[in-house]
Amino acid sequence: MANYKDAKFALLIDADNISYRHIDAIIEETTRYGTLTYRRIYGDWAKPHLRSWKEVSLEHALSAVQQYSYTSNKNATDTAMVIDAMDMLHTAELTGFILVSSDSDFTPLAMRLREGGKVIIGIGEEKTPTPFKAACNQFIHLENIVSSADEEKVTANTPTPARKKPTVDRKTMSLLKTSINDLAEDDEGWVSLASLGNHILRKKPDFDPRTYGHSKMLNFFRSLTQFEVVDEKTSSGQSNYFVRIKQTKKKKK
């Protein structure tokens, strides 16, 4: 997870595209990044399927923005979010925006906000189209932050087997190794774990060790035999972790 200390974010939620059952996980995740100066949720609250949002919106102090659907097959909610986001971009002192949706229609918005110098964090389902993920500085899969209790609520009527954590495939392994090589300053190949995590996110915004069953980047790299991890203590005794690709011992001739 990237570190945005003392940051101020606008949390904008597309209620048409996200289930109310996930709001606890979303709030818990987003408050780790800083202060949520704005907490707004958008939808046509006259629609029956959005009525369940009322209670959780009050519980989490979400400001519900009513947006009527003027014509069929057109999502007016998207337009309302875009207008508000652009107003905030030019009038509010914000570090960035947290856009909660799996809708790729928000890709141009994310790109424009980044052009305005803001940090963009996206939250949505794993199936979210790649363009929206790539437009964010960081994209978080809902599947990685929803607790088991929330999953039970979602699947109470339609039980499904637990989601199996994927193994690190060749493409991901290549991402990890090339990122280390990008940062390594000498033949020893050691790089700061914190710097490495940020570098990986710049290449792949939706990378998350939780996808592979690890809550921390440190534990993720320690679980992989292809890498070495060391803890170089600072003068004050604080941990300072470094990672490198495991060195192969050269055979003596």
Angle, to 10 degrees, between the axis of helix 107-115 and the axis of helix 76-91?
10
Residue type (1 letter), 193: L
The pTM of this model reads 0.85
Over residues 79-107, the pLDDT tens digits come to 889 999 999 999 999 999 999 999 999 99
Does domain 7-154 sit in CATH 3.40.50.300? no
Position 48 scores a pLDDT of: 81
CA atoms in the 13 A half-sphere facing the CB of 86: 11
Position 2 scores a pLDDT of: 62
Beta-carbon contacts of 64 under 8 Å, excluding residues fewer than 6 positions away, are: 40, 41, 43, 45, 53, 54, 57
The fraction of the chain above a pLDDT of 90, given in percent, is 67
pLDDT-derived band at 35 (thresholds 50, 70, 90) equals very high
Alpha carbon 85 to its chain's center: 19
Among 17-31, 67-81, 127-141, 174-188, the least confident range:
67-81
Domains in the chain: boundaries: 7-154, 170-245
R_g of the chain, CA atoms, integer Å? 21
Position 101 scores a pLDDT of: 95
Note whether 95 and 118 are within 8 A (CB).
Answer: yes
Over residues 123-150, the pLDDT tens digits come to 999 999 999 999 999 999 999 998 644 5
- Name the class of domain 170-245: alpha beta
Over residues 229-251, the pLDDT tens digits come to 999 988 888 889 999 999 876 54
